[in-house]
Amino acid sequence: MAYVPGTAWQGKYPHHDEPLPNVCSASSRADAVQELVSLLSPLLPGQPFSGSRQLQAEEHREILSAIQNLVPTLSRDDRVFATFHDGQVHDPLGGGSYAFEKDLVGPLLTALKDDEIHSLTREDARHRAHFDGTITRPIIIHAGAQPNNSPHVGTLIVFCYAFAVAREIRRRLLEKEARSGRRMPPVSVQITFVDTAPVNGYDKKVNGVKYQTAYRDVNGALAVNLPDYYQVMHFLSAWADIPFTTSYQSQFFSGPYMPELIRYFAECRRTLGKQLSPKYGTVALRAACPVPDCRLAEKHGVNNEYSPLMKFDDDNMEAGDDNDWIITFHCPTHGPHYISTDNPADLARLEANAPARNLLRSMSQLMDTETHHVRVTGADYAGMYQETFLYRPLADWAYKSTGGLGIPRTPHILYAPLIMDWSGAKLSKSLYVRKDGYQAMKLLGTDSLCSYAQMKEYFGDNGTKGLGRLWREVTEWMDDPKKLFRAFSIEYLRGIIIDGERWN
């Protein structure tokens, strides 16, 4: 890469893992400084071309190019490049932003109402004429988090979105209540913690098979970051005036529909394995080794064995009526251990990877005809991920299952905007968790956007300032829903959260 004085910077931006090009030698920096100084000198006070004279476009461009050339030469240790923008914020319409430009919550409430109509029993259907289209079931807005760090800005946006949409739904229901005089159902938020996420440094590979240890199985691991999550939930709940509950994986796997769903997973494991894991072809159901100091769980379920549960009946051993299953897991040190699908305490031990959890969650929520479930998650799960790992297996299930759907219903999922770095990649939690993932953000003063803990440290308060600004921003997206169907850059958020300013 060559530095060419007086021209736009000609080098390519190196990949994150590539060594820094030699652009910060004393001579290249001196050249770059000289170039910029010579361009700026005529603008100094007392110079013939100083004052408020409008720069010609070519001059302007030359100065910007000289700045771009200078910036990477400033430090050998901190890799930084300059880019410029015009500060204009566009919210172009297209796809979701066009379809839901004026309203997001109205169509959602219509869909929930239709779910109630679709799940009426034949008996109820006779009285459908009396059904006035009012939602009668409680509504829960779900979001989730892996508590392996203080809440990352993407997680904070998902949480804000969940409370903001709950507040808007409740506002509309209360309006209806005032008009109709009929009591409307409650609206709440539920945050589910994936306390089965793996702890860094506790993973292991034996004979090519990957094993991991979950947060809930490492002493004290959960306690590190959970207080930050609860603090965020308490603030958002107070600001939205919406109650919240929390849930953990053992509660998720103890749900009323789980025995039937795990039986289905065991029975259809070959098809589901191919659908849920293009890499391994297996269903990643896990259980930690029960030996207290071990707690290893096999990551991808490649060694799991599934066998029908045999029951003694009239002196004969035969498969039970409920088609229950024994799933055997293997610890590399302590050998096999198993769960039985007819034992709730066994099921509470289960863990699943993200696609399997996603599918099980949607299935159990679809089977629940007492409560409405709406989920908020990051937009990186929208599109092909859901079409491949959720809707395709759901269509199979609806076709095969006798106790499942039987009626055409699909999950209600809202996708929260992602926050992008300069290259358009999402601000990644795993990169942030990795040491020095976002070194440059420290230099640029935007690292307080990385996590709630850093935000608190930056503002020197209890979290209300930064989170409050983010909450106000997300509620504005809710009021102007086309903004919920795009991404936002770190630079945009910097203005909103760190500087407390609007871009427009």
Q: Which residues bind Zn ion (CB under 5 A)?
A: 289, 291, 294, 331, 333-334
Cβ 440 to Zn ion, closest distance in Å?
42
285 with 327: CB under 8 angstroms?
yes
Pick the closer one to Zn ion by CB: 79 or 216. Answer: 216
| Amino acid identity for residue 27 in this structure | S
Tokens at residue 92, please? 């172009």
Cβ 331 to Zn ion, closest distance in Å?
3
Pick the closer one to Zn ion by CB: 227 or 335. Answer: 335
Pick the closer one to Zn ion by CB: 307 or 333. Answer: 333
Tokens at residue 483, please? 């903004």
Pick the closer one to Zn ion by CB: 184 or 287. Answer: 287
H helices of 193-350, where? Answer: 221-240, 249-253, 258-267, 269-276, 344-347
458 with 150: CB under 8 angstroms?
no
Cβ 258 to Zn ion, closest distance in Å?
24
Pick the closer one to Zn ion by CB: 334 or 400. Answer: 334
Cβ 197 to Zn ion, closest distance in Å?
19
222 with 216: CB under 8 angstroms?
yes
Cβ 289 to Zn ion, closest distance in Å?
3
Cβ 293 to Zn ion, closest distance in Å?
8
Cβ 332 to Zn ion, closest distance in Å?
7
Kindly report the backbone phi and psi dihedral angles of residue 350, in degrees, each rounded to the nearest multiple of 5, phi listed first: -65, 150
Cβ 205 to Zn ion, closest distance in Å?
15
Torsion angle of C-alpha atoms 475, 355, 359, 110, degrees rounded to 10? 20
Strand order of the sheet with strand 209-212?
Answer: 204-206, 209-212, 297-298
Pick the closer one to Zn ion by CB: 289 or 326. Answer: 289
Q: Residue 182 burial (CB < 10 Å; 0-12/13-18/19+)?
A: exposed
Separation CA 363–CA 406 (nearest Å): 12
DSSP assignment of 108-151: HHHHHHHHHHHT--HHHHHTGGG--S---S-EEEEEEE--SSSP
Residue identified by tokens 């490649």 is 302
482 with 93: CB under 8 angstroms?
yes
Pick the closer one to Zn ion by CB: 134 or 328. Answer: 328
Pick the closer one to Zn ion by CB: 351 or 447. Answer: 351
Separation CA 151–CA 168 (nearest Å): 24
378 with 418: CB under 8 angstroms?
yes
Cβ 211 to Zn ion, closest distance in Å?
9
Cβ 267 to Zn ion, closest distance in Å?
28
Cβ 290 to Zn ion, closest distance in Å?
8
Count CB atoms within 10 A of the CB of residue 88: 7
Q: What is the CA radius of gyration of the chain?
A: 28
Closest CA to 135 of 116, 152, 149: 116
Pick the closer one to Zn ion by CB: 289 or 376. Answer: 289
Altogether, the residues listed in the chain come to a count of 504
Query: In angstroms, how far apart are the furthest CA atoms of the chain?
Result: 108
Pick the closer one to Zn ion by CB: 8 or 291. Answer: 291
Pick the closer one to Zn ion by CB: 93 or 291. Answer: 291
Residue identified by tokens 């909450």 is 471
For the chain, the distance separating the N- and C-terminal CA atoms, rounded to the nearest angstrom, is 38
264: CB partners within 8 A, 6+ apart? 363, 397, 401, 404
Cβ 294 to Zn ion, closest distance in Å?
3
Tokens at residue 430, please? 């795993």
Tokens at residue 46, please? 């007392």
Cβ 83 to Zn ion, closest distance in Å?
51
| Amino acid identity for residue 28 in this structure | S
Pick the closer one to Zn ion by CB: 294 or 431. Answer: 294
Q: Residue 15 burial (CB < 10 Å; 0-12/13-18/19+)?
A: exposed
Tokens at residue 297, please? 């769980």
Query: Which residues on adjacent β-strands are paired with residue 317?
Result: 312
Pick the closer one to Zn ion by CB: 294 or 398. Answer: 294
